[in-house]
Amino acid sequence: MIPNVIIERVTTPLGEMTLSQRAQDFSIRVAGVELMSSLNHRSEDELGKITCTPLASLRAPNILIGGLGLGYTLRAALDVLPKQARVEVAELVPEVVRWNRTVFGQLAGHPLTDPRVTVIEGDVGAVIAKASAHYDAIVLDVDNGPDGLGRHNDRLYKAAALAAARRALVDGGLYAVWSSFESPTFTKWLAGAGFTVELQKIKARGATHWIWMARAKPSP
């Protein structure tokens, strides 16, 4: 049997993070719970694709993706976005950025080398809070979703953060949020923050994942 080898352990605001490898596959865990694995990335690919395909006809759309993980969502977004797109990727854990550059960048075709990409090492919530009517799309995949893993990110799913996301988007902009759980409460909060909400269900290797596609209603 091929062994699963822990390559690195780091202390992060989310808890202890480990990067492990089994043959050609990589997995990132936080406090022992899987955050992302190269064995199953169908819904992460879909997240980038369905959010960014409608932006393909814009000349120079602005996109924010948080966080980076193994880079699949970023890759899927880059594959459909135009040449002049600007894609900011906010990643909380500097080691994740380093691993993408040095350990497993090949998994998603080295997306950080694409000239359209700017990496921000920091909290995506802070990046959203600073922006005003700027992004055509914001893509959030930072943990397991509104009822998920990380207490560090709880506030990202609360009303104040959703209002900030609405402010950061242009009218009609898209806020796409990945989750491994359905959450009717989160759907309600998104609607209350000025979004028209559609929930997509994605089946991947026996698991069901969810993506909220929330479109910013025009400002009154």
Ligand X SMILES: C[S@@+](CC[C@H](N)C(=O)[O-])C[C@H]1O[C@@H](n2cnc3c(N)ncnc32)[C@H](O)[C@@H]1O
Residues that bind ligand X (CB under 6 A): 14, 35-36, 41, 44, 66-73, 90-93, 96, 123-125, 141-143, 153
Which one, 68 or 87, has the nearer CB to ligand X? Answer: 68
Which one, 93 or 137, has the nearer CB to ligand X? Answer: 93
Which one, 154 or 171, has the nearer CB to ligand X? Answer: 154
Annotate the chain with DSSP letters as a single string.
-PPPEEEEEEEETTEEEEEEEETTEEEEEETTEEEEETT--HHHHHHHHHHHGGGTTSSS-EEEEE--TTSHHHHHHHHHS-TT-EEEEEES-HHHHHHHHHTSGGGGT-GGGSTTEEEEES-HHHHHHH-SS-EEEEEE-SSS-TTSS-GGGGGGGSHHHHHHHHHHEEEEEEEEEEESS--HHHHHHHHHTTEEEEEEEEEETTEEEEEEEEEEPPP-
- Nearest approach in angstroms of CB 184 to ligand X is 22
- Nearest approach in angstroms of CB 183 to ligand X is 16
Which one, 91 or 136, has the nearer CB to ligand X? Answer: 91
- Nearest approach in angstroms of CB 187 to ligand X is 21
- Nearest approach in angstroms of CB 97 to ligand X is 9
